[in-house]
């Protein structure tokens, strides 16, 4: 199984996680810029963080044969802090970097006027830079947040095919399915979305424009839940081509819109590793 995790915060993970992911078939990841837990008090700490996302993390990942890409943005939560507003002036510089494949995570946390403003401004940046956008939906009041996000995306002028609406669940998937946007699902160990619930959604809505990620943020999370979802798909009767579509070809197609993916060398390793995993049962 070759796996591209389209949304995983490796900054919050250990080297052992990289090793386990590589052994599980993970060959590429996208790490979205997000909230670091401790509030940042100046734009300068964003510069250092963004530099780590395009420098240090790709180096860490590369030691395990994993290709690492990033998405860059001012996250929705810190959009509310006036001290962080000048980050919007830093973002365009990063959107020109080779390792940056989308604008994100953007969207809503508490749906404040400040978030409205920052969300719309960053969708405009995606449009101007010819990049896709990764839209986070809020954990509280998710239905309202998803509806409102879709309305803002529709107003932005971005092609819906260049937008993923992420952290969806059974309640919100139907709101997005017919909009032309991509559908993102974060799988967690014991809350929100599980591999089995994900398989039920894939049965009902199909595999087209579906992206499955392990998020791996500050809450309890597991960077191998992409693999577990693939296994649950196989156990439920999906074939290996459908698993490959969801776990590899879909993220390649979505982030490939940036024209910045270069996966030839890792895709070969993926085939090789997939074979050895099958032989060794690892």
Residue 203 makes CB contacts below 8 A (sequence gap 6+) with: 236
- When the beta carbons of 7 and 228 are compared against Zn ion, the nearer one is 7
Q: How far is the CB of 184 from Zn ion (least distance, A)?
A: 10
Q: Which residue is nearest to Zn ion, using beta carbons?
A: 34
Q: Provide the b/e sequence for 191-217 (b: ≥16 CB within 10 Å).
A: ebbbbebbbebbeeeebebbbbbbbbb
Q: If you search the block for the tokens 């998710």, which residue do you land on? A: 142
Residue (34 or 248) nearer to Zn ion, CB: 34
3-class secondary structure, 129: helix
**Measured from the CB atom, is 36 or 267 closer to Zn ion?**
36
Query: Stretches 17-25, 30-38, 42-50, 74-82: which one binds Zn ion (CB under 5 A)?
Result: 30-38
Interface segment toward Zn ion; rule CB under 5 A; list 32-40, 84-92, 138-146, 243-251: 32-40
CB of 167 to Zn ion, least distance (A): 8
Pure H helices in the chain: 15-24, 43-54, 56-62, 87-95, 113-129, 142-156, 173-176, 195-205, 225-235, 240-244, 250-256, 264-280
Site of tokens 């090789």: 272
Nearer to Zn ion, 34 or 94 (CB): 34
Stretch that binds Zn ion, among 34-42, 115-123, 174-182, 271-279 (CB under 5 A): 34-42
Interface positions, 211-230, toward Zn ion (CB under 5 A): none
Applying CB under 5 A, the residues found at the interface with Zn ion are 34
């Amino acid at each position: 199984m070759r796996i591209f995790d389209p949304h995983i915060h490796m900054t919050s993970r250990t080297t052992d996680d990289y090793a386990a992911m590589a052994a599980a078939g993970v060959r590429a990841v996208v790490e979205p810029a997000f909230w670091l837990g401790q509030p940042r008090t100046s734009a300068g700490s964003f510069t250092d963080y963004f530099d780590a996302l395009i420098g240090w993390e790709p180096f860490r990942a590369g030691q395990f044969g994993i290709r690492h890409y990033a998405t860059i943005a001012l996250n929705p939560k810190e959009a509310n802090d006036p001290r962080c507003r000048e980050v919007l002036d830093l973002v365009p510089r990063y959107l020109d970097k080779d390792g940056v494949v989308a604008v994100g995570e953007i969207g809503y946390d508490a749906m404040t006027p400040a978030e409205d403003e920052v969300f719309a401004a960053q969708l405009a940046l995606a449009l101007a830079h010819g990049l896709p956008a990764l839209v986070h939906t809020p954990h509280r009041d998710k239905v309202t947040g998803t509806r409102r996000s879709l309305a803002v995306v529709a107003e932005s002028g971005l092609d819906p095919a260049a937008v993923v609406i992420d952290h969806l669940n059974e309640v919100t998937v139907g709101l997005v399915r017919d909009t032309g946007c991509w559908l993102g699902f974060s799988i967690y160990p014991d809350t929100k979305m599980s591999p089995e619930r994900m398989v039920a959604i894939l049965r009902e809505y199909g595999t087209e424009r579906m992206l499955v990620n392990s998020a791996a943020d500050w809450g309890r999370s597991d960077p191998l839940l992409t693999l577990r979802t693939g296994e649950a798909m196989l156990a439920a009767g999906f074939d290996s081509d459908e698993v490959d579509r969801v776990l590899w070809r879909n993220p390649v197609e979505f982030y490939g819109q940036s024209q910045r993916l270069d996966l030839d060398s890792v895709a070969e390793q993926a085939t090789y590793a997939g074979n050895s995993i099958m032989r060794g049962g690892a």
